Amino acid sequence: MAQTNKVVRFVLEDRYMKTNKIILLALIIAIGGIFMMKNEDVDDGSRAIKAVKISTVKTGDLNESLFFEGVVTPRESIPIYLNFPVIVDKILVREGTEVEKGEELIIFSPSTKINFERELQMAELDIKNIELQLADLNSGSIKLELESRKLEIKTLNEDIKALNRQLSIIIFEAKNSRKEANAKMKLLDNDAISSTDVNMAITAANRNEMEVVDTKTALELSKQKYELMISSYERLKRELNLQKLRIEGEYQKQKLKKQDIEEKLEKVGKPLTAPINGIITELLVEKGTHAGAGIKLLSIAAIGDNMVKLNIPVQQAKWIRKGQNSKIIVREGFEEQVVSGRVESVARVAKTIGGADYTERIIEVEISSNNKNLKLGYSVGVEIEGENRINLKLIDAFSIFQEDEKNYVYTVEDNRVKKTLVEIGAKTVSKFEVLNLAEGTQIVVNPFKVKDGDRIKIRK
């Protein structure tokens, strides 16, 4: 009985295994059939027949509106600088904070104030020192020397005047004594006078003439000395004036320095406040930052004075021009608001964005709007309106491919594809107008699946 049970179990197991093998074989055949049905490319022994989808050239209307994504940015940001170094102690705002004019933004470290107080004391000491120099200049040794030289010049001038008067008298006396000597010489010839008297007259005349020469020499030397003293006096006077101007200039400089330090001390002693009602668009410092003079601390933009900035691929930017109307689509949660706008500017030069793995050349476009509710930093949709054109022959944009900067499609003739040059008219992102193809012409939808001359089978 036990042997019979083993035989029965063996027969049943053998049948079960055979049944499983049949089911598995059927599944393999079914899957293979499905795969063959899915892969509709047929090999006729020479070249594969490819299954492709086709579309046709159809007459329709074309709205040349373009759709992009952009970011709301401020039309103008006001940079906040300080013209003196500070240490940031506390920051009361962050990027995106909406502030009112006069609202506190940043508090500076007390150490900055202490440094300015020390600088102010030094400036006050410098000013007092300069005031002493000015006082000495007005009554000191240089001033006394200048007065002394002025007196010498005046005395010498009087001496020159006296010599001029004396010279006139001596010349007169010399002429008279010479006339007297000549007259006595004539009397001596007539034996009317003694030779002793003649000699005395001649000696007196010679002496007077010598005195004239000496006086002229003394007068000339006095005049030269006078000129030298005048020159020396003027030079000393100029030096005194230059020194006075230099000290007075330094005095004004120190006063301005003191005034500047006082203004800085007043500013650093108070928190930095917002100059306008606006939104903080940049915050470039943090607590503990040592910000040097002229370093930008933050930027603030006026509320409501915003625009949308777009980065548009070069290929599409050529359809956009300044002044085109646009619609700005603002999305908040599940709500959507459409705001009217206008193309304000289109950059003349393209720039490259991306990194090592991906780059793209784009044109920056700015969209303006009078709507005050555009929020900074928000991503928005932008529809730039073009012209509505009717009764155009249209094909899908992705059916076109380019070679050597020319546009082609694959048309279908007698179940074969043909590479065909197309002339493009109006276009949008998804539709192109074709000028040289007849309505109803069959076009391969995906041109990258075939090549010129391939046999095809139309896939539904």
Q: Which two tokens stand for residue 133?
A: 């120099």
**Whether residue 279 is found in the same domain as residue 400:** no
**Whether residue 224 is found in the same domain as residue 370:** no
In a domain, 198, yes or no: yes
Q: How far apart, in whole angstroms, are the C-alpha atoms of residue 70 and residue 377?
A: 10
Task: Out of 91-100, 206-215, 315-324, pick the least confident.
Answer: 315-324
**Whether residue 206 is found in the same domain as residue 278:** no
Kindly give, in sequence order, each residue whose CB lies less than 8 Å from that of residue 62, ignoring residues fewer than 6 positions away.
388, 389, 390, 392, 394, 426, 427, 428, 431, 433
Residue 47, pLDDT score? 57
Over 80: is that where the pLDDT of 18 sits?
A: no
Sign of the Cα torsion 106, 107, 109, 112 reads positive
Asked if residue 429 lies in contact with residue 316, where contact means CB atoms within 8 angstroms, the answer is yes
**pLDDT-derived band at 68, boundaries 50, 70, 90:** confident
In percent, how much of the chain has pLDDT > 70? 89
In a domain, 181, yes or no: yes
**Whether residue 189 is found in the same domain as residue 323:** no
Q: How far apart, in whole angstroms, are the C-alpha atoms of residue 256 and residue 427?
A: 67
**Whether residue 67 is found in the same domain as residue 136:** no
**Whether residue 454 is found in the same domain as residue 309:** yes
193-218 confidence digits (pLDDT tens): 888 888 998 898 899 899 999 999 99
166-175 confidence digits (pLDDT tens): 999 999 998 9
Kindly give, in sequence order, each residue whose CB lies less than 8 Å from that of residue 50, ignoring residues fewer than 6 positions away.
41, 449, 450, 454, 455, 456, 457
- CATH number of the domain to which 289 belongs: 2.40.50.100
Average pLDDT, integer, range 51-65: 87
Residue 429, pLDDT score? 65
Residue with tokens 């000395």: 225
Q: How far apart, in whole angstroms, are the C-alpha atoms of residue 63 and residue 392?
A: 11
In a domain, 90, yes or no: yes
In a domain, 423, yes or no: yes
Determine the distance from the C-alpha atom of residue 206 to the mean position of all C-alpha atoms in its chain, rounded to a whole number.
Answer: 92
Dihedral class, residue 376 (left if φ above 0, else alpha if ψ from -120 to 50, else beta): beta
- 221 vs 269: which has the higher pLDDT: 221
- Taking the CB of residue 443, how many other CB atoms lie within 10 A of it? 23
Determine the distance from the C-alpha atom of residue 55 to the mean position of all C-alpha atoms in its chain, rounded to a whole number.
Answer: 53
Q: Which of 87, 5, 50, 459 is nearest to 272 (CA)?
A: 87
Looking at the structure of the chain, the number of domains it has is 3
**pLDDT-derived band at 15, boundaries 50, 70, 90:** very low
Kindly give, in sequence order, each residue whose CB lies less than 8 Å from that of residue 273, ignoring residues fewer than 6 positions away.
101, 102, 103, 104, 105
Name beta bridge partners: 392: 60
**Whether residue 367 is found in the same domain as residue 284:** no
247-275 confidence digits (pLDDT tens): 889 999 999 999 988 888 888 888 999 99
- CATH number of the domain to which 362 belongs: 2.40.30.170
Q: How far apart, in whole angstroms, are the C-alpha atoms of residue 276 and residue 262?
A: 25
3-class SS at 139? Answer: helix
Residue 428, pLDDT score? 72
**pLDDT-derived band at 409, boundaries 50, 70, 90:** very high
Task: Kindly tell me the burial class for residue 445, based on how many C-beta atoms sit within 10 Å of its own C-beta (0-12, 13-18, 19 or more).
Answer: middle
**Whether residue 370 is found in the same domain as residue 396:** yes
The residue among 246, 281, 299 that closes a domain is 299
The residue among 268, 283, 314 that closes a domain is 268
**Whether residue 256 is found in the same domain as residue 212:** yes
The alpha-helical segments, DSSP class H, found in 190-332 are: 195-268, 314-317
Average pLDDT, integer, range 325-342: 86
Average pLDDT, integer, range 218-234: 90
Q: How far apart, in whole angstroms, are the C-alpha atoms of residue 422 and residue 7?
A: 79
For 374, the domain range is 52-75+301-458
Kindly give, in sequence order, each residue whose CB lies less than 8 Å from that of residue 414, ignoring residues fewer than 6 positions away.
none
133-156 confidence digits (pLDDT tens): 888 777 767 777 888 888 988 999
pTM of the model: 0.47
**Whether residue 244 is found in the same domain as residue 283:** no
- Tell me the angle at which helices 195-268 and 110-139 cross, rounded to the nearest 10 degrees: 170
Average pLDDT, integer, range 16-42: 46
**Whether residue 202 is found in the same domain as residue 246:** yes
From residue 87, alpha-carbon distances to 91, 264, 287 in Å are 11, 13, 8
Indicate the residue type of 447. Answer: P
Residue 104, pLDDT score? 93
Kindly give, in sequence order, each residue whose CB lies less than 8 Å from that of residue 291, ignoring residues fewer than 6 positions away.
82, 85, 86, 87, 88, 285, 297
Average pLDDT, integer, range 374-381: 85
Residue 6, pLDDT score? 35
Please report the DSSP string for 377-422 in residue order: T-EEEEEE---EEEEEEEEEGGG-EEETTEEEEEEEETTEEEEEE-
In a domain, 15, yes or no: no
Indicate the residue type of 137. Answer: L
Share the mean pLDDT of the chain. Answer: 83
Kindly give, in sequence order, each residue whose CB lies less than 8 Å from that of residue 16, ignoring residues fewer than 6 positions away.
none
**Whether residue 308 is found in the same domain as residue 430:** yes
